[in-house]
Amino acid sequence: MIFIAGKCYHTDEPGGRVEARLQEGTIAKVCVLASSSSGNCTFIGTDRTRILVDAGLSRKEIALRLASIGEALEGLDAVLITHEHSDHVSGLPVLARALRIPVYITRLAAGTLAWPAGFTPKLEIFQAGCGFAIGDLRIQSFTVPHDAIDPVGFCVDADGVRIGVVMDLGYIPESVKYHVRGARLLVLEANHDVEMLKVGPYPWAVKQRVMGRRGHLSNDVVSEFILEELDGGTRTLVLGHLSEHNNHPEIVRLVADQALRRRALATRLVVAEPRRLSEVFQC
């Protein structure tokens, strides 16, 4: 055991990588490093395994944000990709080349990506709906309705603790509701306020796309989900992927909080604001 900047660390073995120890009684550590149309990236880690869900920031920015929560870029074990849109993969080629760690992605999504010349990424291809393991994490993928090639969401299970990450979907089908039941922490999209979107600067065709069944979730849809479907055992609900033009954190907070109060749920609500990393969640 060693101490750096007042924090306790341990190594797997002499000369091994330095790892931030989780708080006593904590199974997993989660931080939304970024969540908006400008970039998406979520860190999930245990004492043994550390992954990213999406890499929509530059390698340098990911490294800086990881360092700010006591983690190192070199400590990552894998990257999971939800879909091929640039705000989810813009930093992936450089990150994958630098770290040479596995990238878990569906076959159809993988075929859309451009890699640096002469570099062959370590792709772990999976089919949407399949599960797989990374270290002590068990991952379950599931299809989501979005206008991408083969978009997925993920539930990550660590020693009985489930973490759901569901972004970029036009509505919440029964299959998604099924998979996120039992999540102790759920990261869910709350992209737009319908009225703000209607009067906002986007062309009408884009507005129709965003509001469509393969677009993005509105605050109203999220509120309905909280009222009717949110698992009462979910301790923390993190709402993210807010549009910087068509939503506002305080609107999201108000709408979601009202729904939670109507259900009399003790679930803690957190809004992941655009261009800012969230707090660190200990699950």
CA-wise closest residue to 181 among 190, 189, 192, 172 = 172
Tell me the C-alpha distance between 272 and 279, whole Å: 9
206: three-class secondary structure by DSSP: helix
Tell me the C-alpha distance between 212 and 171, whole Å: 8
Tell me the C-alpha distance between 189 and 40, whole Å: 11
The pLDDT of residue 16: 33
The pLDDT of residue 10: 33
CA-wise closest residue to 177 among 217, 125, 135, 119 = 217
87 class by beta-carbon count within 10 Å (0-12 exposed, 13-18 middle, 19+ buried): buried
The pLDDT of residue 24: 67
Tell me the C-alpha distance between 140 and 168, whole Å: 17
Q: Mind listing the pLDDT tens digit of every residue in the chain (283 residues)?
A: 322 233 333 333 333 333 455 666 789 999 999 999 999 999 999 999 999 999 999 999 999 999 999 999 999 999 999 999 999 999 999 999 999 999 999 999 999 999 999 999 999 999 999 999 999 999 999 999 999 999 999 999 999 999 999 999 999 999 999 999 999 999 999 999 999 999 999 999 999 999 999 999 999 999 999 999 999 999 999 999 999 999 999 999 999 999 999 999 999 999 999 989 999 999 9
The pLDDT of residue 161: 97
**Level-2 CATH architecture, domain 28-274:** 4-Layer Sandwich (3.60)
3: part of which helix (H) or strand (E)? strand 2-4
C-alpha of 106 from chain center: 17
- Interval 185-194: pLDDT, tens: 999 999 999 9
Residue type, 168: D
Domain spans of the chain, in order of start: 28-274
Q: Which structure tokens are listed for 243?
A: 């549009």
Sequence-separated (6 or more) residues with CB below 8 Å from residue 74 = 17, 99
The pLDDT of residue 260: 98
Q: Which structure tokens are listed for 144?
A: 């989501």
